[in-house]
Chains A and B, each alone.
Chain A
Amino acid sequence: MIFGIKTSPYMHAPQSVGQVMAQVIYALLPGTLALLWFFGWGVVTNLLLSLGFAVLLEALMLKLRERPLLPFLTDYSAVVTGWLLAVALPPYSPWWLILIALMFAMVIGKHLYGGLGYNPFNPAMVGYAAVLVSFPIEMTSWPAPALTSIGALSLNETIQQVFLGGLSTWDGLTQATSLDTIKTHLRLGETVEQISQGAAFGWIGGQAWEWVSVAWLAGGLWLIYRKIISWHIPVALMAALAGMALVFWLINPDHYSSPLFHLMTGASILGAFFIATDPVSASTTPLGKLLYAGGIGCFTYIIRVWGSYPDAIAFAVLIMNMAVPLLDTYTQPRVYGTKGRFGS
């Protein structure tokens, strides 16, 4: 009998990139449902448009790059990118904003660098940052949760706002986010405690945002439990962010928000568990992950507090993406039987 030759190992864990990405999508469900609850149909249009554009652009780029469609479309990485952008952009975003964000994410952020696995920057954050600096008005018009929660705005009105723009009542439905409010009101000389009485604030974080954050947290913990992500990045990111917030809050609580507020508002939890953990653009060594995520936490705080943008997860992630090759090189773990990094 003649047998085929192959090299060891001959066994493989029942796990594929597609399955990994699918679990990330499952973990995004609770947070997405919470968003839907608080912001209504705009979350659905965001999601449908974003996913549609992501898959279309992925297919188009694969075609242009003469790569096989099926294995790369079923890795679901485009779906994850689309999903992350959908939940990061303000609900009821106009269709063209979503398209531009996705074009930056999929075409420039991902495929021009070589596609899956070769992108140095987090594609979703590339898209997000590009539209944030280009269209600041649209990007800061977050609907007010109380006015747009599920059922408050009809599907017709939603479609009008998303596809035609200029829903006459739209301006009245938006509201500055808690991070935004703090930034503008501090300049007016108010204390954090006074500002926190405003409508945009909830119990510990932003109004509605705190509950969305809790839902992201639940999904994120499930990812750690399923060993899809390791604890290093979320823990280091949250620790750095909360740590910096704690120091300044202890120094002057009138001027600086509490660590808990910083964690439970904006995109902190989403960023810690779902965005910074994108394996392709993150550091891969244990120590490298801690430094990488710690850097994101610090930069997020710095930009939030002293920069001109209210939230900063996207910029912080992109900045730290640049440091990844360096971090990976200098944080090699000690190999069995060797003394140190380069020693033997």
Chain B
Amino acid sequence: MFNLRKLWQHKGGLHLKDYHKDQSTQQPVRQLSAAKASELVIPLQQHAGHKPKIIVKAGDFVYKGQCLAKAEGRISVPVHASTSGTIQALEERPIAHPSGLNDLCVILMPDGQDNWGDQRLTPLENYAEASAEVLRERISQAGIVGLGGAVFPSAIKLAVPEPVQLTHLLINGAECEPYITCDDMLMRERASEIITGCLIMLRALHEHAPAQGLNCLIGIEDNKPQAIQAMQTAVQQAKDPRLKLVPVPTQYPTGGERQLIQILTGREVPSSGRPSDIGVLCHNVATARAIYQAVVLGQPLISRYVTVTGKGVAQPQNFEVEFGLSMHSLIQAAGGYTPKAQRLIMGGSMMGMALPTDQIPVVKATNCLWVSEQEAESPALPCIRCGRCAEACPVNLLPQQLYWHARARNLEKVEQYHLFDCIECGCCAYVCPSHIPLVDYYRYAKADIYAQAEAREKADLARERHDFHQERLERAKREKAEKLAKHKEAAQTKTRDAGNNDKQAAIQAALERAKAKKAQQAASAPLASEDKPA
């Protein structure tokens, strides 16, 4: 059934007994429209990069899909209205961040009409002939970002520098993290749309492809047989020899970009490089589908599949949610909380982010809401150096040495032990028999190093400013002194010249006066100032 391919292995990782995925895949995906909501909160910063520039104001009426803020800066994408309605305010609201900090959001009051008006982008039916630039422009216009979690603008990822030749386009459908099933459901239900998205991306990359075209490998973990089945059917229907579906072994974190690249191609992305450095580009299945919607339907990115799961919700399931709806409304749609609900986590159980409240809007990065029950707490014991962390690390780090040096705040050593290659997958902390929150130490060390670098930069800047200020003062002083000296000299010369003339004149005059005195017996004194050298 499948093209038999050699698969490589990434080191370490976890083989879990239960990935907790079944609970949320029992029902078909439900649509959750923003039109009926009383209020939508649409944050401006939903992607990695620069904040877009707001172009609407309070009181404006907007259509569904209308641009609310346009991209500004090199790495940026616009944000669109999820439904039609009136802009109520532009204000700071809580966003999906563990700090509970606020950020600028557009508050939209839906009119219930879900009216696209004339805001739909023109569908590009003949994408197979479109130029790469046109496709990238469309993908950027539609506000598409990587939906696997990184939310990096997709058009920029597709803009491969000129001399780079690619060999593979990898489509990531691994979805390795426990509890999350949104990509699984998307592949089951929207397989042909994903495949069309892949073909669009292949077109957008055709200038970088070898003569026979790119190898487009779709990697799906083998614990999703239904998704594999649906995708295989879609691949067969597409009849494109470049497309290949590759089931990969279920193992966390196979869905990590660098890990999937290693498994499918056997290549390693250089530590401080990008996948394109080794001829590979990797996009998520949900991103592929969003690209399909933008190019073929002319629809910007205003919704996504979101898993709502965990023992803390009554009816775990997946929704297609329009952005700006509150997480609270999403939980309500899933039957509300159960008495077991203890924690709200955006993402999965290994890398998700715990949120303080559910009054937070669903955004492009929201792949899963996991309402967990109380986990067993056990105090951290000292590290016994057992080395399980090193065995579990998919990047082949020595987590226990990193921990040791991070604890000692030996920042030079942690960098030497490749702290910045850590992907924070959590495997080490999961296996640690001493229950040490290892990843916290790495986050802390990274933040510390950033802070130090920033402080150093600031200090350098301050020193530079100080030096410049000092130099300016000195220059001013010097210039003043020079000027003064020049003036003095000029004055002296003038006086001297004047003095010389005056003296002679005075002598002459005196002689004349004497003569005159003698002659007339009358005297008149010369002006004192003229006589006095300056």
Binding site for B on A (CB under 8 A): 1-13, 15-17, 19-20, 71-72, 75, 77, 115-118, 230, 279-280, 282, 284-285, 328, 332-338, 342, 344
Contacts and interface: CB of A to CB of B under 8 A. Distances in A.
Contacts of A115: 382
Nearest to A1: B358
B430 A338 contact: no
Contact of B258 (A9, A280, A332, A337): A337
Contacts of B384: 17, 20, 77, 116-117, 279-280
A335 B396 contact: yes
A117 B382 contact: yes
B381 A279 contact: no
Given A118-B382, A337-B421, A338-B271, A5 B178 contact: no
B386 to A, nearest CB: 4
B174 interface: no
Contacts of B434: 16-17, 117
A282 to B, nearest CB: 7
B279 interface: no
Contact of A338 (B354, B382, B386, B418): B418
A7 B357 CA distance: 15
Nearest to B357: A2
Contacts of A8: 345, 347, 349-354, 424, 426, 439
A115 B379 CA distance: 16
B385 A279 contact: yes
A285 B355 contact: no
B398 A1 contact: no
A1 B401 CA distance: 40
A205 B395 CA distance: 44
Contacts of B376: 12
B435 A117 contact: no
Contacts of B439: 7-9
A342 B416 CA distance: 7
Nearest to A338: B271
Interface in B21-36: none
Nearest to A117: B382
Given A8-B354, A337-B271, 7 more contacts: A6-B343, A8-B353, A16-B381, A77-B384, A117-B381, A333-B398, A338-B270
Interface string B381-420: 1111111001100111110110000000000000011100
A252 to B, nearest CB: 40
Contact of B271 (A4, A10, A282, A344): A344
A116 B416 contact: no
13 contacts: A3-B343, A4-B354, A8-B347, A8-B426, A9-B351, A11-B349, A15-B433, A17-B434, A20-B386, A20-B433, A336-B271, A337-B269, A337-B270
Given A12-B430, A334-B396, A336-B395, A7 B443 contact: yes
B416 A284 contact: no
B341 interface: yes
The 5 tightest CB contacts between A and B, nearest first, are: A117-B382, A9-B426, A337-B271, A279-B386, A336-B395
Interface residues of B, number: 66
B387 A13 contact: no
Contacts of B269: 337
A9 to B, nearest CB: 3
B272 interface: yes
Contacts of B353: 8
Given A2-B356, A11-B178, A335 B430 contact: no
B381 A344 contact: no
A300 B220 CA distance: 51
A200 B286 CA distance: 73
Contacts, number: 161
Interface in B129-156: none
Given A7-B437, A10-B349, A336-B395, A1 B430 contact: no
Contacts of A118: 382
B8 to A, nearest CB: 12
Interface of B: 10-11, 98, 178, 258, 262, 268-273, 337, 341-345, 347, 349-358, 372, 375-376, 378-379, 381-387, 390-391, 394-398, 400-401, 416-418, 421, 424, 426, 429-431, 433-435, 437, 439-440, 443
A117 B383 CA distance: 5
B437 A336 contact: no
Given A17-B381, A117-B383, A280-B385, A6 B354 contact: yes
A318 to B, nearest CB: 17
A337 B443 CA distance: 20
Q: Which of A13, A118, A280 has the most CB of B within 10 A?
A: A13
Contact of A332 (B341, B394, B398): B398
Contacts of A5: 98, 354-356
Contacts of A75: 381
Q: Which of B273, B378, B385, B431 has the most CB of A within 10 A?
A: B385
B421 A284 contact: no
A336 B421 contact: yes
A115 to B, nearest CB: 7
A4 B377 CA distance: 13
A3 B382 contact: no
B309 to A, nearest CB: 13
Contacts of B378: 16
Contacts of B354: 3-8, 10
Contact of A10 (B11, B345, B379, B416): B345
Given A3-B344, A8-B352, A17-B433, A71 B357 contact: no
B385 A7 contact: no
A71 B439 CA distance: 23
B394 to A, nearest CB: 7
B454 to A, nearest CB: 22
Q: Which of A1, A20, A118, A337 has the most CB of B within 10 A?
A: A337
Contact of B343 (A10, A16, A20, A344): A10
A338 B437 CA distance: 26
Given A71-B381, A117-B383, A336-B262, A284 B431 contact: no
B435 A12 contact: yes
Given A9-B349, A280-B385, A332-B398, A3 B443 contact: no
A72 B380 CA distance: 11
A4 B383 contact: no
Nearest to A344: B271
A13 B430 contact: yes
Given A284-B400, A336-B421, A10 B375 contact: yes
Contacts of A282: 385
A318 B206 CA distance: 63
Contact of B398 (A9, A280, A284, A344): A284
A80 to B, nearest CB: 11
Given A336-B262, A338-B421, A344-B271, A4 B342 contact: yes
B241 to A, nearest CB: 31
Contacts of B417: 332
Q: Which of B384, B424, B440 has the most CB of A within 10 A?
A: B384
